[in-house]
C-alpha cells in the first residue's frame, strides 16, 4: 500500500563535532520519504524554490518516491542551519529561512487522494487539517508537531488531534501540550482528545507507543558513532509508516514491529549527514539491525521458585 | 546463595510534590537489603549511631537480612535530607550529616567472608577495596560509586575497577569517569580497566548492561505515579544481585534476567517513601511486574519479504 507524506523539503547546513555539510538535502518530507521508501511506495507533497537542486532528488524517485506533488515555486527554498555541540542531544538552530515554505498551501494531486496511509509531518496544524480535507478515508492518519505550533496554534492542533489516529511527538512537546510531567498521564491526556495511538519519542532514550490497552517501548539503538542527529525523528516516522503501509495491517502486534522498524531507520539516519546513509543501506542492513534490536531487549522469563 | 552488601544505613528526610517524610529508613545498604531479601539471604555490613531506631529494622531481619555486621557506634547516625521538584528526576540535597559514617571502617564478620555474591554500595573506594581484602574468592563482586568519589578518589576507584566483576553507575557518572560522551565508548573504557560487566543506569530512561560481546537494555517501568525516587538505584542493585544469588548463575541469559528483576524492584521502590513498598510486596506482585516488563518490550520479528 502507498504512504502519502506532506512535509518540508529543505536545504540543511549542519555542523557537528565530526564535520560540516552545506546545503544538503533536508526537511521532514525528505527524511520521511528516504526512510519509508525502503518499505512501500511513497507520495511526497511539498514545495521547493527555484534554487532547489531537484536533480539531487533523483535517488528518491528511483526508490519509488512519487514527486508529482512537489511544487516548484518562485523564490528561495526553505533553509535550516544548525549546530550540534559535543553531547549531540539538541540542535542549536543558527538560522531558519522559510522562503517559499512560508506560503505553502499543500495541494494533494488527484492520484494521491486515496492513499491508505497518510503522514502529516511537522507543519502548521491548519495546513495539516487542510490536507485531511483533501484525502479520502485513509486507513491510518498520523501527524507530527513541534513546540512552536503547540504554543501558537493550540486550538488548531486540538482540532487536528480529533481527526488523526496517531500522533508522534517528543517528550518535551508531550509535556508542553498536556501540562503533565508524567508521560503516562500525558499520553492518556492526548488519547482522550482523539488519537488511539500516541508515540512519544525520547531521542537517544528510545520511544514509547501508548494505546488504550498497552504500552510498548523500543530503545534507541546504542550507536558508538552518532554523526548527525538531524532527521532522526522523521526517519523514525518513515520507517514506522512505511512498514505499516507495506504490511497493510494496524493491529497491535504489527504496530509494535513498526515502532522497531522506525527505531532502526532513525538509527541509520544519524550515521551520516542528510539522507546519505538512508540511501546507502539495503534490506540486509535493515534485517541485521532488527536482529540486533531484538537481542538488545531479549530476556527469557524464568521465575524464581 | 548469600549476598553480602556493605553500604550506608541512614535516616532520610524527603520532600516530594506528594508528601514529606522525616527520619525514615534510608541508605544504600538498607534499600539494597530490602530489595535483595525478596530473592536470597542477605548479609548487611554498615554502621549506625546510638540514635538509630534499630527496632525498625526488624522487618528486614524477618525477611532474612542478617544484621550481625551492623555496627552500633557512639554518635549520630548518617542523615540525608533532600527534595524533589516537579520533574522528580534529580534530588536536591538540602543537608548531609555523615555522623558515625565518617569514621566507618567496615569489619566483615567471620561468617560473612565466604559470601559468593558481594555488593560494594556507594562508599569511599578505599573502604570498598578494604572490604575486598576481607572476603574470600566471591563468585561475583559488584560495586557502585558516585561523582564525589570519581573526583576525589580517582586512583583508588581505578584500583577498585581492576578488582571487581561489575560496576553500576549512572550515565552522568559514566561520562565523568571516562570523559566519553558516548555511553558505548564509556562502557568500553571501563571494561578495559577490569569489570567484565558495566551497568549504566539512566533513571527513568532505563538501564544498559554492557559486556564484551553484547548489550542489553531494560527500560524503566513507565509508572503513572512516581512517589519518591530515593533508593531506586540501590533497589535495582538489590534485585539484580539478589536474583543472581538466588539462581547462582552468572551466564549472560541469567544476568539479563537479573537486570529486569533489578528494574522491577527499582520501580516498586519509588511507589512509596523509604523501603515501605519493598516491604509490602510479595512474589505475586514481582511476578506480575515481570510479565508487564516483558509485554513492554515484546515484539515478534517478521521481516518484510
Q: What is the pLDDT of residues A150-159, one digit of tens each?
A: 999 999 999 9
Tell me, yes or no, whether A304 lies in a domain. no
Question: Which residues of B, range 81-100, sit inside 8 Å of A by Cβ?
Answer: 86-88
Residue B25 has pLDDT above 70, yes or no: yes
When pLDDT is averaged across residues A111-125 and rounded to a whole number, the result is 97
* Number of C-beta neighbours around residue B1 at 10 A: 16
In terms of CA atoms, which chain A residue is nearest residue B227?
A182
**pLDDT, tens digit (0-9, with 9 covering 90-100), for B259-302:** 999 999 999 999 999 999 999 999 999 999 999 999 999 998 76
Place of cell 532547489: A52
What is residue B12's predicted lDDT score, i.e. its pLDDT? 97
* pLDDT value for B190: 98
Residue A303: band (very low, low, confident or very high) from pLDDT cuts 50, 70, 90: low
Beta carbons of B6 and B106 less than 8 angstroms apart: yes
Nearest CA in chain B to A258: B299
Q: Please, what is the average pLDDT of chain B? A: 95
Q: Tell whether A303 is covered by a domain.
A: no
pLDDT at A88: 78
pLDDT one-digit tens code per residue, B215-264: 999 999 999 989 999 999 999 999 999 999 999 999 999 999 999 999 99
Chain B residues touching residue A256 (CB < 8 angstroms): 298-300
pLDDT at residue B85, rounded to an integer: 85
Average pLDDT over residues A66-88: 93
pLDDT above 80 (res A49): yes
> Per-residue pLDDT averaged across A56-68, rounded?
97
Query: Sorting pLDDT into bands at 50, 70 and 90, what band is A251?
Result: very high
Question: What is the per-residue pLDDT for B44?
Answer: 98
Domain extent, residue A176, equals: 3-297
Q: How far apart are CA A135 and CA B284, in angstroms?
A: 50
Label residue A276 by pLDDT band (50, 70, 90). Answer: very high
Report if residue A78 sits inside a domain: yes
Give the pLDDT of residue B89. Answer: 75
Domain annotation covers residue A179? yes
**Which residue, B42, B32, B38, B49, is CA-closest to B1?**
B42
pTM: 0.93
Closest CA relative to residue A94, chosen from A84, A105, A82, A103: A82
pLDDT, tens digit, for every residue of B176-222?
Answer: 999 999 999 999 999 999 999 999 999 999 999 999 889 999 999 99
Cell 525528505 belongs to which residue? A30
Q: Say whether residue A137 is in contact with chain B using an 8 A CB cutoff.
A: no
Percent of chain A whose pLDDT exceeds 70: 99
B295 near A CB under 8 A = yes
From residue B116, alpha-carbon distances to A155, B119, B274 in Å are 61, 10, 28
The grid coordinates of residue B206 equal 532505563
Please indicate, yes or no, if residue B225 is contained in any of the structural domains. Answer: yes
B301/A290 touch (CB, cutoff 8 Å), yes or no: yes
Tell me: ipTM over 0.95. Answer: no
B304 in any annotated domain: no
- Per-residue pLDDT tens digits for A173-209: 999 999 999 999 999 999 999 999 999 999 999 999 9
B144 phi and psi angles, rounded to 5 deg? -120, 165
Contact (CB<8Å) B216/A259: no
Which of B184, B206, B243 shows the shortest C-beta gap to A223? Answer: B184
Whether A181 and chain B come into contact, CB under 8 Å, resolves to yes
Q: Identify whether B67 is part of a domain.
A: yes
Query: What per-residue confidence (pLDDT) applies to B88?
Result: 78
* pLDDT on residue A87: 72
pLDDT band at residue A301, thresholds of 50, 70 and 90?
A: confident
**Domain-located, residue B227:** yes
Sign of the Cα pseudo-torsion (A241, A206, A128, A77, in order): negative
Instruction: Answer yes or no: is pLDDT of B303 > 60.
Output: no
Interface test with A, best of B209, B257, B288, B299 (most A CBs within 10 A): B299
What is the mean predicted confidence (pLDDT) over A243-253?
96
- Summary count for chain A: helices (H), strands (E): 11, 13
Q: Which residues in chain A are contacts of B181 at CB distance < 8 A?
A: 86-88
Helix axes A252-269, A28-36, angle to 10 degrees: 110
Distance separating alpha carbons of residues B295 and B305, to the nearest angstrom:
26
Q: Is B251 on the interface with A (CB under 8 A)?
A: no
The structural domain count of chain A equals 1
Confidence (pLDDT) at A300? 83
Predicted confidence (pLDDT) at residue A22 exceeds the cutoff of 60: yes
Cα–Cα distances in Å, from B169 out to A205, A243, B240?
Answer: 17, 37, 14
> Which residues sit opposite B140 in a β-bridge?
B117
Q: Chain A residue with minimal CA distance to B185?
A: A224
Residues 6+ apart with CB under 8 A from B163: B129, B132, B141, B194
- CA B7 – CA A95 distance, rounded (Å): 52
Mark yes or no for CB contact B301/A283 under 8 Å: no
Q: What is the pLDDT of residues B30-71, one digit of tens each?
A: 999 999 999 999 999 999 999 999 999 999 999 999 999 999
pLDDT score at A302: 67
For B115-130, the pLDDT digits (tens) are 999 999 999 999 999 9
Q: A12: which strand partners?
A: A24, A80
Share of chain A above pLDDT 90, in %: 92
CATH number, residue B110: 3.40.1190.20
**Cell numbers representing residue B209 in the block:** 548492561
Cell numbers at A264, concatenated: 532502526
How close does chain B come to A196, measured CA to CA in Å? Answer: 17
**DSSP-derived secondary structure for A42-61:** EEEEEEE-TT--GGGGHHHH
- Interchain CB contact of B223 with A (< 8 Å): yes
- What are the cell numbers at A180? 503533565
pLDDT at A105 over 80: yes
CA dihedral A166, A168, A171, A172 (to 10 degrees): -110
**What angle is formed at CA B140 by the lines to CA B139 and CA B141, rounded to 5 degrees?**
135
How far apart (Å, rounded) are the C-alpha atoms in residues A172 and A32?
Answer: 21
Cell of B51: 540514635
The CA dihedral of A34, A35, A38, A43, to the nearest 10 degrees, is: -60
Cβ separation of B304 and A283 shorter than 8 Å?
A: yes
Q: Which three cell numbers stand for residue A3?
A: 504512504
Residue B86 has a pLDDT of 76
Residue B302's pLDDT is what? 67
Confidence at residue B91, expressed as pLDDT on a 0 to 100 scale? 86
Interatomic CA distance for residues A292 and B1, integer angstroms: 33
Amino acid at each position: 500500500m502507498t504512504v502519502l507524506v506532506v512535509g518540508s523539503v529543505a536545504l540543511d547546513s549542519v555542523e557537528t563535532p565530526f564535520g560540516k555539510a552545506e546545503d544538503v538535502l533536508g526537511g521532514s518530507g525528505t527524511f520521511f520519504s528516504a526512510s519509508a521508501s525502503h518499505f512501500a511506495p511513497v507520495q511526497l507533497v511539498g514545495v521547493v524554490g527555484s534554487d532547489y537542486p531537484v536533480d539531487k532528488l533523483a535517488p528518491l524517485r528511483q526508490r519509488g518516491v512519487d514527486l508529482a506533488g512537489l511544487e516548484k515555486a518562485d523564490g528561495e527554498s526553505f533553509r535550516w542551519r544548525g549546530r550540534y555541540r559535543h553531547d549531540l542531544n539538541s540542535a542549536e538552530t543558527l538560522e531558519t529561512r522559510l522562503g517559499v515554505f512560508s506560503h505553502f498551501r499543500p495541494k494533494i494531486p488527484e492520484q494521491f487522494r486515496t492513499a491508505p496511509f497518510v503522514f502529516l509531518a511537522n507543519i502548521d496544524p491548519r495546513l495539516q487539517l487542510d490536507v485531511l480535507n483533501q484525502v479520502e478515508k485513509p486507513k491510518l492518519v498520523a501527524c507530527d508537531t513541534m513546540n512552536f505550533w503547540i504554543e501558537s496554534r493550540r486550538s488548531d492542533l486540538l482540532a487536528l488531534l480529533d481527526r488523526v489516529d496517531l500522533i508522534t511527538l517528543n517528550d518535551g512537546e508531550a509535556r508542553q501540550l498536556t501540562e503533565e510531567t508524567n508521560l503516562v498521564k500525558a499520553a492518556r491526556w492526548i488519547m482522550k482528545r482523539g488519537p488511539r495511538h500516541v508515540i512519544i519519542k525520547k531521542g537517544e532514550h528510545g520511544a514509547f507507543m501508548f494505546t488504550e490497552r498497552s504500552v510498548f517501548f523500543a530503545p534507541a539503538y546504542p550507536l558508538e558513532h552518532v554523526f548527525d542527529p538531524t532527521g532522526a525523528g522523521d526517519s523514525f516516522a518513515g520507517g514506522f509508516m512505511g512498514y505499516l503501509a507495506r504490511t497493510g495491517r494496524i493491529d497491535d502486534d504489527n504496530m509494535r514491529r513498526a515502532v522497531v522498524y522506525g527505531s532502526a531507520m532513525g538509527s541509520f539516519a544519524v550515521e551520516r549527514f542528510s539522507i546519505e546513509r538512508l540511501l546507502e543501506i539495503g534490506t540486509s542492513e535493515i534485517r541485521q539491525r532488527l536482529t540486533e534490536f531484538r537481542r538488545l531487549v531479549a530476556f527469557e522469563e524464568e521465575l524464581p521458585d
